[in-house]
Amino acid sequence: MKSVDDLGDLRGKRVLVRCDLNVPLDGDQITDDGRIRASLPTLTKLREAGAKVIVLAHLGRPKGQVKPEFSLAPAAKRLAELLDTEVALAEDVVGPSATKITADLADGAVAMLENVRFEPGEESKDEAVRGELADKYAALGDVFVSDGFGVVHRKQASVYDLAARLPAAAGTLVFAEVEVLRRLTEEPARPYVVVLGGAKVSDKLAVIDNLIKTADTLAIGGGMVFTFLAAQGLEVGKSLLEEDQLETVKGYLEQAEQSGKRIVLPTDIVIAPEFKQDAPPTVVAAGAIPSDQLGLDIGPESGQAFAELIKDAKTVFWNGPMGVAEWESFAAGTKAVAQALTEVDGLSVVGGGDSAAAVRDLGFSDDDFSHISTGGGASLEYLEGKELPGLAVLEEKKD
C-alpha cells in the first residue's frame, strides 16, 4: 500500500480522508473519544503538508436516511478541540453545503462532511449505486487517504469505491493496525494466547477456525462460552446459547485436542436470576448453573486462571469482554484479564469497540497495552484470513 509520503507534494491539494469517528454517545456527549484520538496523526501530517483536509466518516446506523441524532456534530466539535483548530462541518454529505465548504478551504485547514451513511448509496450492495455516490465524493477532492481502520472490511462507497477513483494511500492508523495484525499472524512470539469473549457469538465463532491453527491457547469467556459449555454436555440455564453452533463448537474442541492446542474454558461462573444491572450475583461451578439463572461473567477462579495463562505469554490478542463489564457486579472477569494483559512481557493487543471502551472504563490507560485496535470486526476478519476490501483496493493501486 502507498503511504501519505508516496502521494507527493500535497500543498494546496484537496485530500479526502476516510476516518473512523464512530464513537459511543450518550445523547450528544462522547463517552469514549479513542477513535477520534486515533485519527489525529494522519490529519496532523496532512495539515502540516499544507493539504486542504476533508474528513469523511460515519456514525451509527442511520441506514441511508438523514437522522439528526446521528449527526457528526459532536465528533466535529471534539476533533476541533483535539486539533486545536476550526473544523467546518457541512450540513450535507455531497450537496451544496459540502461543495461550498470544501471549495472555500484554506491550505492546512480541516472540513468534515456530514455522516456518509445519510446517503443510501454509501452501504448499497449495488456497485453502480455506490459508484454514483463515490463519483460525487471524488469530485470534492484530488487525492484519497484511507485511515478508517474500523471500516476497511466494508465494501462501501467512501471506503472501497472512492479509493478506486483517485490517487489513494493508506493513513498512518491503517498502517499501524495492519502492522500489528501481521505480527499476530506471521510468526508470533510464543506462547501465543488468544482470549475471546463478548456477545457477537456467531461472528466470533468463525475466527476460531483460523486462530486454532496459529495460537497455542484459546481462552474463552463472555457470552460465547455457554455454547462451549453446552457442547460439553453442561446445563447453561438461561445464558446466551447458539444451539445451531453446537456441532461446530464440538468440532473445535476435538480439533484442538488432536492438534495439541488448548481451549481453556472457565471452571466457575457468576450467575444471576435475570439480565439486570442490580440482579444479585452468585458464583457457581461451571457445571452447576441452575436452569432458571444465567451466566453474566466468568468466576474469580477462572479470572485468576486466565490471568496466569496471559501473564506467561509472549503474544496475546484479546477481543470481547469476559462478562457484562458495563455493570460492576459482572466486571471482575474482564478486569482480571485486562490487568493480566498489562503485565505481559511481549505483544498485548486489545481489539473491539466494547473491549476498548471497557478497559478505559475500568481505569486502564492506552499505554498499558502494546496496542488497542480501533476495529473489532476488521481485526477479526483479518485474523480469520479474509481479504479486507478496503485494504485490497489500496494494494491493487501499488504501481
Of these, 150, 222, 266, 389, which contacts ligand ADP (CB under 6 A)?
A: 222
- Exactly one of 320, 375, 389, 390 binds ligand ADP (CB under 6 A); that residue is 320
Does position 302 bind ligand ADP by CB under 6 A? Answer: no
164 to 203: interface string for ligand ADP, x by CB under 6 A: ---------------------------------xxxx---
Identify whether 35 is a catalytic site residue. Answer: yes
Interface residue with ligand ADP among 23, 134, 215, 296 (CB under 6 A) is 296
Window contacting ligand ADP (CB under 6 A); options: 28-36, 90-98, 111-119, 348-356: 348-356
The answer to whether 286 touches 201, Cβ cutoff 8 Å, is no
**Catalytic one among 353, 375, 376, 390?**
353
Q: Is 171 a catalytic residue?
A: no
**Which residue's CB is nearer to ligand ADP, number 74 or number 333?**
333
Q: Mask 360-379, x = binds ligand ADP (CB under 6 A)? A: ----------------x---
User: Pattern 299-338, binding to Mg ion, x per CB under 5 A?
Assistant: ----------------------------------------
Q: Give the whole-angstrom CA distance, residue 360 versus residue 99.
A: 38
- # chain residues binding Mg ion, by CB under 5 A: 2
Residue count of the chain: 399
**Minimum CB distance to ligand ADP smaller for 131 or for 223:** 223
CB of 21 within 8 A of CB of 43? no
Instruction: Confirm whether 353 is a catalytic residue.
Output: yes
Residue 74 found at the interface with ligand ADP (CB under 6 A): no
For the record, the C-alpha cell of 349 comes out as 493487543
CB atoms inside a 10 Å sphere around CB 387? 10
320: partner contacted, choices ligand ADP, Mg ion, none (Cβ within 5-8 A by kind)? ligand ADP
Sign for the CA dihedral angle at 333, 334, 340, 346 comes to positive
Q: Does 353 bind Mg ion (CB under 5 A)?
A: yes
| Burial (CB count <10 Å: 0-12, 13-18, 19+), residue 220 | buried
Interface residue with ligand ADP, options 33, 119, 122, 354 (CB under 6 A): 354
240 binds ligand ADP (CB under 6 A): yes
Residue whose grid cell is 450537496: 95
Contact flag: residue 197 with Mg ion (CB under 5 A): no
Q: How far is the CB of 390 from ligand ADP (least distance, A)?
A: 18
Instruction: By CB under 6 A, name the binding residues for ligand ADP.
Output: 197-200, 222-223, 240, 295-296, 319-321, 323-324, 326, 352-355, 376
Which residues are catalytically annotated?
35, 200, 353, 377
